[in-house]
Amino acid sequence: MTRDRVLLQLLRNLLEEITEKYNSLLQLKEKQAKEFFNLATKDPLTSLYNRYFFFDFLKASILRIQREEEFGKKIALVFIDIDNFKQVNDLFGHEKGDILLKEIAEFFKREIRKSDIIARFGGDEFVVLFEGVDITKESIKERFERIRKKFNDYFKEYQVSFSYGIALFPDELPNWEDKSISDIQKYLIKLADDRMYKDKLLRREKISGGRDGALSSNRGGSR
């Protein structure tokens, strides 16, 4: 083997080694970037999006409507509160409560389309965001009534259910063009939350003597 061929082989070996190390470094950086993204956007218990990512996504959705990037587009925000979750913690302990929250998160992920956004808002509260031009409060309500029936059957062992409230944008916010993104977000969350609470009260009143334990919740105190 001549000297030139030896040098050429050495260069090839060196290039392969550099390429291999570069690929390994690139894979490590990609892994670290993914881990950082998950830490910043995902709830550590349920692996759903966290409230911070939800607000960022909601902001972007509102901006698209303000800029008329998608004519006729609407947003439906659904606020969900798990009924009777406090009793699960009291009877089975918080560890079991955490396991149940994970199962609930997986249930909602199966029932909500991948194109829609679901996040854990905090505690036993969840929020869902739908986008589209054909969204109506009635269509969202029909969907969640079906989901609630399946939910009640699936989790009947724990006697939990959920209450929900729906808010539409821009339909239900007069003069929204003059309001800030932050004000619109707060309005939609409060409107959906208030309607969720009304849903809980109405269902509680329908139950004779209030005997259904599945209509209480743990909102910092209890609802």
| Listed residue (108, 144, 113) closest to 130, CA to CA | 113
DSSP 148-180: HHHHHHHTTTTT-EEEEEEEEETTTSTTGGGS-
Q: Which residue has the tokens 């991948």?
A: 114
- In the three-class reduction of DSSP (H, G, I as helix; E, B as strand; rest coil), residue 191 is classed as helix
Which candidate in 43, 124, 193, 199 is catalytic? 124
Residue 66: its pLDDT value, please?
83
Taking only the tens place, the pLDDT of each residue in 56-94 is 999 999 998 888 756 778 999 999 999 999 999 999 899
Alpha-carbon distances of 51 from 44, 108, 151, rounded to whole Å: 12, 16, 23
Long-range pairs for 94-102: beta carbons < 8 A, 24 or more residues apart: 98/45, 100/155, 100/158, 100/160, 101/45, 101/46, 102/45, 102/46
- Alpha carbons 96 and 55: distance in angstroms, whole number: 29
On the 0-12 / 13-18 / 19+ scale of CB atoms within 10 A, 102 is middle
Would the pTM of this model clear 0.95, i.e. be above it? Answer: no
Residue 59 near residue 66, CB atoms below 8 Å: no
Q: How many CB atoms lie within 10 A of CB 162?
A: 26
Question: Looking at the domain covering 51-215, what would its CATH class be?
Answer: alpha beta
Long-range pairs for 41-46: beta carbons < 8 A, 24 or more residues apart: 43/105, 43/119, 43/120, 45/98, 45/101, 45/102, 45/120, 46/101, 46/102, 46/104, 46/105, 46/120
Residue 223: its pLDDT value, please?
42
Mean pLDDT, all residues of the chain: 85
Domain boundaries, the chain: 1-40, 51-215
To the query of whether residue 124 is one of the catalytic residues in this protein, the response is: yes
- In the three-class reduction of DSSP (H, G, I as helix; E, B as strand; rest coil), residue 120 is classed as strand
Residue 82: its pLDDT value, please?
97
Taking only the tens place, the pLDDT of each residue in 2-56 is 766 766 666 677 677 777 766 666 665 566 556 555 567 999 999 999 999 999 9
